């Protein structure tokens, strides 16, 4: 019995000493220089931050040293919560959009940023993802958004003498031409993973039908319903894509859709701008992009410019002054320029005019000039209950594309689900 106790003690002791070795190394600070640590889930962006973005700020502010320290994306929320509770979290916190960050703010972990002067460089829609429900307090600076559109294979378009589609009619004409030629899949999109059907399909083209922010806010205020014409029409368009999606799209996953397009076997790829970075260098043909085609008779265009990443300050950080200085810098044109060029496909949300060298990313960004931006309509407030609206959109969009549900049924199911728990004020 004694020996067992000793062994147990040893195990516990080892664990404790490991813990205590781990802890201080993260909190090391230099009295002359304040070190700021950024918590993030974007491990892919490690090199861009530490080699391109942060050296610029650190050089201008010799007494501050900012370090980017990401955790794996799937563990980020849990790891961050543990670190915040234990007081070992970094000084700057990369914010997930909407409810996850709102919860951190309500628990007192994030600092209110209303006194940051640079906030004036952001439009209202850009800030929504990191504001309290009454839109009065902002707690994270909007960092980047992803834009939806369609990437196409220019070589195929040229060989069939097709023009970049502007309207829905152009779009279907182009699809008809590609499919009549045979051998090439007109649209590279699958429904196996479901989320593509929702994000690359429903959210991508839908903004044009529900008129962007007007429709999105209409749903929240209860003036509009998901069973309205705009949503039925969005689903009707998706249903029309089905014959062009190639054999076996019902079992086609996201990576398979990507491979279909990059191997040159598909003409059009409904995209999120984050695909740009992974497509560059993989394809041996010219790529270009077009915005969601305009519905017949409509002149105003809308794009899904979804706010995805923000950055806030850990309220319990001991270096609030330095952190605020850094946050101010994030609102400048200089930062926007460096960020956009090192992370193509993630677009800064400030109103500064910036130049992006990547032609494809630039094409996506150019849509902001003449189209109105909006975010995905299910992300703000409307996905807090059961059934979850975003999950329902995945399911119904995939079913409409699979032709196992009619557009009208899909729209009605969404509204029925929302009615189950949501009461507009």
Partner 1 sequence: MMKNVKKRELILFLGPALFFYCVFFVYPMIATIKLSFYETINNDTQNFVGLANFNTLINDPFFSEVFWNALWNNLIFFLFHMFIQNPIGILIALLLVNLSFKAATFYRTAVMLPTMLSFVIVGFIWQLILSPTWGITSILYDVFSIKENTPALLGEESTALITISLVSVWQFIGIPVLLIYAALISINKDILEAIKLEKVGFFKAFFHVHLPMVWPTIALVSILTYVNNFNAFDLIYTVKGPLAGPNFSTDLLGTLFYRTFFGFQLQSGNINLGAAVATAMFLIILIGVSIYLFFVQRRILR
Site for partner 1, rule CB under 8 A? 1, 4, 98-99, 103, 107, 191-195, 246-253, 256, 260, 378-379, 383-384, 386-391, 394-395, 398-399, 402, 404-405, 417, 420
Number of alpha carbons in the 13 Å side-chain half-sphere of residue 345: 13
Distances (CA, A) of 151 to 15, 157, 306: 51, 12, 17
Cis peptide before 67 (omega within 30 of 0): no
How many residues make up the chain in this entry? 425
Q: ∠ CA(75), CA(76), CA(79), 5° rounding?
A: 80
Report, in Å, the least distance between residue 284 CB and partner 1: 19
Shorter beta-carbon distance to partner 1: residue 253 or 366: 253
Residues ≥6 apart with Cβ < 8 Å to 16 = none
Report, in Å, the least distance between residue 184 CB and partner 1: 13
Shorter beta-carbon distance to partner 1: residue 30 or 247: 247
Shorter beta-carbon distance to partner 1: residue 89 or 405: 405
Report, in Å, the least distance between residue 246 CB and partner 1: 7
Residue ranges of alpha helices (H) inside 199-347 are 204-209, 213-221, 229-241, 254-262, 275-279, 320-330, 333-342
Q: How far apart are CA 39 and CA 67, in angstroms?
A: 9
Report, in Å, the least distance between residue 261 CB and partner 1: 12
Sign of the torsion angle spanned by Cα atoms 95, 96, 97, 99: negative
Shorter beta-carbon distance to partner 1: residue 90 or 246: 246
Report, in Å, the least distance between residue 21 CB and partner 1: 25
Shorter beta-carbon distance to partner 1: residue 374 or 399: 399
Q: What single DSSP character describes residue 292?
A: P
Shorter beta-carbon distance to partner 1: residue 143 or 245: 245
Report, in Å, the least distance between residue 245 CB and partner 1: 11
């Amino acid at each position: 019995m004694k020996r067992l106790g000793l062994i147990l003690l040893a195990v516990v002791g080892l664990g404790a000493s490991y813990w205590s070795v781990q802890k201080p190394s993260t909190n090391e600070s230099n009295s002359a220089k304040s070190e700021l640590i950024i918590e993030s889930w974007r491990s892919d962006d490690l090199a861009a931050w530490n080699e391109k973005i942060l050296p610029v700020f650190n050089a201008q502010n010799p007494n501050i040293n900012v370090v980017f320290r990401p955790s794996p994306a799937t563990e980020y929320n849990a790891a961050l919560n543990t670190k915040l509770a234990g007081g070992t979290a970094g000084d700057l916190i990369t914010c997930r959009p909407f409810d996850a960050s709102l919860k951190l703010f309500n628990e007192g972990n994030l600092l209110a940023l209303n006194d940051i002067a640079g906030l004036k460089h952001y439009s209202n829609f850009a800030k929504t993802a990191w504001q309290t429900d009454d839109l009065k307090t902002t707690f994270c600076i909007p960092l980047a958004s992803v834009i939806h559109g369609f990437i196409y294979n220019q070589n195929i378009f040229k060989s069939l003498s097709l023009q970049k589609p502007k309207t829905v009619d152009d779009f279907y004409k182009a699809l008809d031409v590609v499919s009549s030629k045979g051998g090439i899949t007109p649209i590279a999109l699958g429904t196996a993973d479901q989320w593509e059907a929702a994000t690359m399909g429903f959210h991508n083209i839908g903004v044009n039908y529900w008129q962007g922010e007007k429709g999105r806010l209409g749903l929240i205020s209860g003036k509009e319903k998901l069973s309205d014409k705009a949503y039925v029409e969005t689903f009707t368009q998706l249903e029309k894509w089905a014959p062009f999606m190639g054999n076996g799209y019902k079992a086609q996953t996201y990576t398979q859709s990507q491979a279909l397009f990059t191997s040159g076997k598909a003409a059009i790829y409904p995209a999120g701008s984050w695909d740009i970075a992974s497509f560059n260098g993989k394809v041996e043909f010219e790529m270009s992009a077009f915005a969601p085609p305009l519905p017949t008779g409509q002149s105003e265009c809308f794009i899904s410019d979804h706010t995805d990443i923000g950055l806030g300050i850990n309220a319990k950080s001991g270096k609030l002054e330095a952190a605020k200085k850094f946050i101010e810098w994030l609102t400048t044109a200089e930062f926007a320029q460096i960020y956009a060029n090192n992370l193509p496909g993630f677009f800064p949300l400030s109103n500064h005019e910036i130049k992006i060298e990547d032609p494809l990313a630039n094409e996506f960004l150019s849509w902001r000039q003449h189209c109105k931006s909006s975010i995905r309509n299910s992300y703000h407030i409307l996905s807090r209950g059961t059934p979850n609206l975003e999950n329902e959109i995945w399911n119904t969009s995939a079913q409409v594309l699979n032709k196992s549900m009619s557009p009208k049924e899909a729209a009605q199911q969404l509204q029925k689900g929302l009615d189950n728990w949501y009461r507009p004020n």
